[in-house]
Protein backbone atom coordinates (compact mmCIF):
# COMPACT_ATOMS: atom_id res chain seq x y z
CA UNK A 1 0.00 0.00 0.00
CA UNK A 2 1.29 3.47 -0.81
CA UNK A 3 0.19 6.57 1.11
CA UNK A 4 0.95 10.22 0.58
CA UNK A 5 -0.80 13.50 1.29
CA UNK A 6 -0.84 17.18 0.45
CA UNK A 7 -3.11 19.64 2.24
CA UNK A 8 -6.60 18.14 2.44
CA UNK A 9 -5.87 15.43 -0.12
CA UNK A 10 -4.90 11.95 0.99
CA UNK A 11 -3.85 9.41 -1.63
CA UNK A 12 -4.02 5.70 -0.76
CA UNK A 13 -2.93 3.24 -3.44
CA UNK A 14 -3.54 5.86 -6.12
CA UNK A 15 -7.06 6.69 -4.90
CA UNK A 16 -7.44 10.37 -4.00
CA UNK A 17 -9.59 11.11 -0.94
CA UNK A 18 -10.61 14.59 0.18
CA UNK A 19 -10.51 14.95 3.97
CA UNK A 20 -11.99 17.73 6.14
CA UNK A 21 -8.68 19.18 7.39
CA UNK A 22 -5.06 19.38 6.30
CA UNK A 23 -3.08 16.22 6.95
CA UNK A 24 -0.04 16.53 9.21
CA UNK A 25 1.01 12.87 8.91
CA UNK A 26 -0.32 9.67 7.38
CA UNK A 27 1.24 6.22 7.71
CA UNK A 28 0.16 2.75 6.79
CA UNK A 29 0.24 -0.17 9.15
CA UNK A 30 -1.09 -3.49 7.91
CA UNK A 31 -4.54 -2.91 6.43
CA UNK A 32 -5.00 0.50 8.12
CA UNK A 33 -3.88 4.05 7.46
CA UNK A 34 -3.37 6.26 10.51
CA UNK A 35 -4.07 9.89 9.68
CA UNK A 36 -3.08 12.80 11.92
CA UNK A 37 -4.90 15.98 10.98
CA UNK A 38 -3.12 19.30 11.47
CA UNK A 39 -4.78 20.95 14.49
CA UNK A 40 -4.02 24.42 13.08
CA UNK A 41 -6.28 23.68 10.10
CA UNK A 42 -9.34 23.69 12.35
CA UNK A 43 -8.21 25.59 15.47
CA UNK A 44 -7.59 28.73 13.39
CA UNK A 45 -10.91 28.38 11.53
CA UNK A 46 -13.32 31.14 12.70
CA UNK A 47 -16.32 28.79 12.28
CA UNK A 48 -14.69 26.23 14.56
CA UNK A 49 -14.10 28.91 17.22
CA UNK A 50 -17.79 29.89 17.10
CA UNK A 51 -18.90 26.26 17.41
CA UNK A 52 -16.56 25.67 20.39
CA UNK A 53 -17.97 28.75 22.17
CA UNK A 54 -21.44 27.29 21.59
CA UNK A 55 -20.40 24.07 23.34
CA UNK A 56 -19.42 21.83 20.42
CA UNK A 57 -17.04 19.06 21.47
CA UNK A 58 -13.34 19.28 20.65
CA UNK A 59 -12.36 17.72 17.33
CA UNK A 60 -10.46 14.46 17.51
CA UNK A 61 -7.61 14.60 15.05
CA UNK A 62 -6.16 11.07 14.86
CA UNK A 63 -8.13 8.64 12.70
CA UNK A 64 -7.70 5.14 11.33
CA UNK A 65 -8.95 4.55 7.80
CA UNK A 66 -9.24 1.54 5.53
CA UNK A 67 -7.29 1.61 2.30
CA UNK A 68 -10.50 2.76 0.57
CA UNK A 69 -10.76 5.75 2.94
CA UNK A 70 -13.53 4.43 5.20
CA UNK A 71 -13.17 5.68 8.78
CA UNK A 72 -12.63 2.89 11.28
CA UNK A 73 -12.19 5.01 14.42
CA UNK A 74 -11.20 8.34 15.92
CA UNK A 75 -8.58 8.13 18.66
CA UNK A 76 -9.55 8.86 22.23
CA UNK A 77 -7.96 12.00 23.66
CA UNK A 78 -6.10 12.15 27.00
CA UNK A 79 -8.01 15.31 28.00
CA UNK A 80 -11.31 16.78 26.80
CA UNK A 81 -9.93 19.76 24.83
CA UNK A 82 -6.64 18.17 23.80
CA UNK A 83 -5.25 17.23 20.39
CA UNK A 84 -2.35 15.22 19.03
CA UNK A 85 0.53 16.97 17.28
CA UNK A 86 2.92 14.09 16.54
CA UNK A 87 2.98 10.37 15.82
CA UNK A 88 6.04 9.06 17.67
CA UNK A 89 5.66 5.44 16.65
CA UNK A 90 3.44 3.24 14.51
CA UNK A 91 4.20 -0.12 16.14
CA UNK A 92 3.02 0.37 18.81
CA UNK A 93 0.89 3.37 17.85
CA UNK A 94 2.10 6.25 20.03
CA UNK A 95 1.00 9.87 19.73
CA UNK A 96 2.04 12.99 21.64
CA UNK A 97 -0.59 15.51 22.73
CA UNK A 98 -0.30 19.25 23.21
CA UNK A 99 -1.11 18.82 26.93
CA UNK A 100 2.14 16.83 27.32
CA UNK A 101 0.82 13.27 27.22
CA UNK A 102 2.51 10.44 25.39
CA UNK A 103 -0.31 8.00 24.61
CA UNK A 104 -0.21 4.45 23.37
CA UNK A 105 -3.30 4.03 21.22
CA UNK A 106 -4.96 0.65 20.64
CA UNK A 107 -4.68 0.33 16.85
CA UNK A 108 -7.79 -1.87 16.69
CA UNK A 109 -10.25 0.63 18.21
CA UNK A 110 -8.57 3.99 18.99
CA UNK A 111 -8.77 3.80 22.78
CA UNK A 112 -5.85 4.86 24.95
CA UNK A 113 -4.02 1.79 26.27
CA UNK A 114 -1.63 3.83 28.41
CA UNK A 115 -0.62 7.45 28.85
CA UNK A 116 2.39 9.11 30.40
CA UNK A 117 2.53 12.75 31.47
CA UNK A 118 5.84 14.17 30.21
CA UNK A 119 6.21 17.44 32.13
pLDDT, tens digit (0-9, with 9 covering 90-100), for 24-54: 999 999 999 999 999 999 888 888 888 888 9
Q: How many residues does the chain have?
A: 119
Q: Where does 3-119 have alpha helices with state H?
A: 40-43, 46-53
Q: In the predicted model, is pLDDT for residue 56 greater than 90?
A: no
Q: What is the pLDDT of residue 24?
A: 97
Q: In the predicted model, is pLDDT for residue 119 greater than 90?
A: no
Provide the β-strand partners of residue 65.
33, 71
* All residues at 6 or more sequence positions from 117 whose CB lies less than 8 Å from its CB, including other chains: 100, 101
Q: What is the pLDDT of residue 33?
A: 98
Mean pLDDT of 99-118: 97
Domains identified in the chain and CATH numbers: 3-117 (2.40.10.480)
Provide the β-strand partners of residue 96.
86, 102
Whole-structure pTM value: 0.93
Amino acid sequence: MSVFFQGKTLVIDGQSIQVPWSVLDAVEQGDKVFVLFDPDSYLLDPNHKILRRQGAPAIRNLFALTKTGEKLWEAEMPETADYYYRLSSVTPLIANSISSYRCEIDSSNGTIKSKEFLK
